[in-house]
Amino acid sequence: MAPTPTLFDLKDRAVLITGANRGLGAALCKTILQYSPKIIHAGYRKTPGDFDDPLINWCQLDIQDAGSVAKAAASIDELDVLINNAGILIPTAADPAEEMASLEAMMDMHLHRPLTLIDALLPRLRASGQPMIVNMISMAAFASVPGCEGYCTSKAALHAATQGLRLKHPDIQCIGVYPGPTATDMTAGSTAPLADAMKSAATIVSGMCDGKPSIFPDEAALAVESLVGAGVATLEQQFTTLLSD
Ligand SMILES: NC(=O)c1ccc[n+]([C@@H]2O[C@H](COP(=O)([O-])OP(=O)(O)OC[C@H]3O[C@@H](n4cnc5c(N)ncnc54)[C@H](OP(=O)(O)O)[C@@H]3O)[C@@H](O)[C@H]2O)c1
C-alpha cells in the first residue's frame, strides 16, 4: 500500500528536542527516530537519556543557562525542527512569597527561555527549507487546575506566545501541543487517569507531519479540544486582521 502523503516529512530533517532525556521528550525522540531523521539533537540538562542511536546527538542544553544555550546553538549547524519540550511543575504554595517565586520560575522556564532559544536558533531555522517550531504547552493552558495555578498561568502564556510566533514568523510552521495528564515523572503520584507517553508522542509526531497548528494528543486533551479548539482557532484567525489597515 502506498504511504499516506504528509505535509511535512521528517526524513532527513535535523531536529532539536529540549529535555529529551526522559518523559515526553524521550518519547518524542524515540518516535521521531522511526521517521529516519538526519539527526536528533537530544537536549539534556545534567544526564543524557538511557537510550542511544547513531542518529542521536546528546547535546548538553540547560535552557535556563545562557552559556549552555549559546554553546548548544553554536554546535548546531543545521536545524529544521525545534521542539521546546523541557518543563517543570511546581505545585501552588500557600506562602505568597514562595508562590511568587514558583510562578517566576515557571514563567522563565515555559515562556522566556523557549522564546530565547527560538531567537538563538532563528538563523538555523531560517536556513531550512521548511522550518518548524513545536511548543509543548498543556491542555491546562485553557483553564486553571487547582493546586497548579502558576503552572497553568505559565502554559497559558506559552499558548499566547505560540500564537504570536505564528504572526511574527509566518515563514515558520509554529505548532502548539496541548497534552492532558500523561504518565511521566511530572505526574508521579497523580490519581488522575494518565495518557501513555509513547502513544501521545506518536499522535504528536503524526500531527506535526500533517501540518496541524494545534495538537491535542490524548483523550483528555481531545475533550478540551472539543470545548475550545475551534473557538480558539477562529478567534486567532479573526484577530490576525484586527489592527491591520
Ligand atoms: N506529563 C504531563 O502530564 C504533561 C501534560 C501537559 C504538558 N506537559 C508538558 O510536556 C513537557 C514534558 O513534560 P514531562 O511530563 O515529560 O516532564 P518530565 O518527565 O518532568 O521531564 C521534564 C524534562 O524537562 C527537562 N528540564 C527541566 N528543566 C530544564 C532546563 N532548565 N533545561 C533543559 N531541560 C530541562 C528535564 O530534564 P532533567 O532530567 O535534567 O530534569 C526533563 O528532561 C513539559 O513542558 C510539560 O509541561 C506534560
Where do the domains of the chain lie, and which CATH numbers do they carry? 14-239 (3.40.50.720)
Tell me, using a 6 A CB cutoff, whether residue 134 lines ligand 1. Answer: no
Atom nearest to 89 CA in ligand 1: 47
Atom 8 in ligand 1: which residue has the minimum CA distance?
Answer: 138
User: What is the spatial distance between Cα 213 and Cα 113, in angstroms, rounded to a whole number?
Assistant: 21
- Residues 165-219 have pLDDT tens digits of 999 999 999 999 999 999 999 999 999 999 999 999 999 999 999 999 999 999 9
27-52: pLDDT as tens digits: 999 999 999 999 999 999 999 999 99
Q: Is 27 in the pocket of ligand 1 (CB under 6 A)?
A: no
Regarding the beta carbon of 217 and ligand 1, being less than 6 Å apart is answered no
Contact (CB, 8 A) for 152 and 144: yes
Check residue 1 and give its pLDDT.
43
For atom 32 of ligand 1, the residue with the nearest CA is 62
Q: Is the CB of 176 under 6 A from ligand 1?
A: no
> With a 6 A CB cut-off, is 138 part of the ligand 1 pocket?
yes
| Per-residue pLDDT tens digits for 109-146 | 999 999 999 999 999 999 999 999 999 999 999 999 99
pLDDT digits (tens, 9 = 90+) for 56-99: 999 999 999 999 999 999 999 999 999 999 999 999 999 999 99
Rg (CA), the chain: 17
State the pTM of this model. 0.96
Ligand 1 center–CA 185 separation, angstroms: 8
What is the side-by-side order of every strand in the sheet holding 81-84? 56-60, 39-44, 14-17, 81-84, 132-136, 173-177, 214-215
